[in-house]
Homo-oligomer: A and B are copies of this chain.
Amino acid sequence: MKVRIKVIGFDADDTLWDNQPHFDAVIAEFTALLRPYCSETAAHEFIHRLQVENLPLYGFGAKSLTLSMTQAACRLSHYQIGAADIERIIRLGRKLLAMPVKLLDSAEDVVRRLKEKYTLILITKGDLLDQKRKLRESGLEKYFHHIEILCDKQVEDYRELFDRLRLQPEEFVMVGNSLKSDIIPVLELNAHAVYIPYPATWQHENVDNYDPNHQNFVQVDKLADLLPILR
């Protein structure tokens, strides 16, 4: 990796701490709850489609998922579902908003060491209040020079962020688990990207094709692999 890198952007969910497994577990409980009305596969497909359809209005995060699950439950049950089950769905969502933050492998060590040499910024998306809560509970807040919580992570969002923070793309590397949100838009702006795949990435974040031969792209297995690259 080029020595002129000065700033490292970290994604948070499923890059520094685990997140998607909690969402997957809640969705599994939701589809089980709907078993009297439809197959778990059908419920799973429906909630995924509805979440994507609701993104422009609801955005990402646990509250959005809860609203989509409630809406899905009404429709999938042909309006037969009872209020006790609706309350169970609300409670599933509350569980997500209170989920413990578990750091991925050596996250704190890696972040602390990289801070000695680079300016670190946290770039995440989703629910403002919940992301701030997770960051506070993670204990990692003190290592970051700047925290940015975006509505979305598309090319324009990164461009606006680079402008605002006066970042030169060639001095910036983004580290994350989503090709769609952390890697491809950043490469498009001629910045650098390190991809750390995470097994449970949400299917909406998947992309069919990308160019792993891009000169600014590196893929590694785990956070600790950043150290030899960026030492």
A59's contact among B64, B87, B129, by CB below 8 Å, is which?
B129
A132's contact among B58, B73, B151, by CB below 8 Å, is which?
B151
In the assembled complex, the CB of A166 is this many whole angstroms from the nearest CB of chain B, namely: 14
Say yes or no for A177: interface residue by CB 8 A criterion. no
Say yes or no for A28: interface residue by CB 8 A criterion. no
Say yes or no for A226: interface residue by CB 8 A criterion. no
Q: Mark A120-131, 1 if CB is under 8 A from B, else 0.
A: 000000011100
A127's contact among B74, B83, B97, B128, by CB below 8 Å, is which?
B128
Interface size on A, residues (CB 8 A): 32
Q: Mark A79-123, 1 if CB is under 8 A from B, else 0.
A: 111111011001001100110000000000000000000000000
User: B67 and A73: CB pair below 8 A?
Assistant: no
Say yes or no for A51: interface residue by CB 8 A criterion. no
User: A87 and B79: CB pair below 8 A?
Assistant: yes
Say yes or no for A149: interface residue by CB 8 A criterion. yes
User: B57 and A94: CB pair below 8 A?
Assistant: yes
Say yes or no for A215: interface residue by CB 8 A criterion. no
A79's contact among B58, B77, B83, by CB below 8 Å, is which?
B83
A128's contact among B80, B83, B98, B151, by CB below 8 Å, is which?
B151
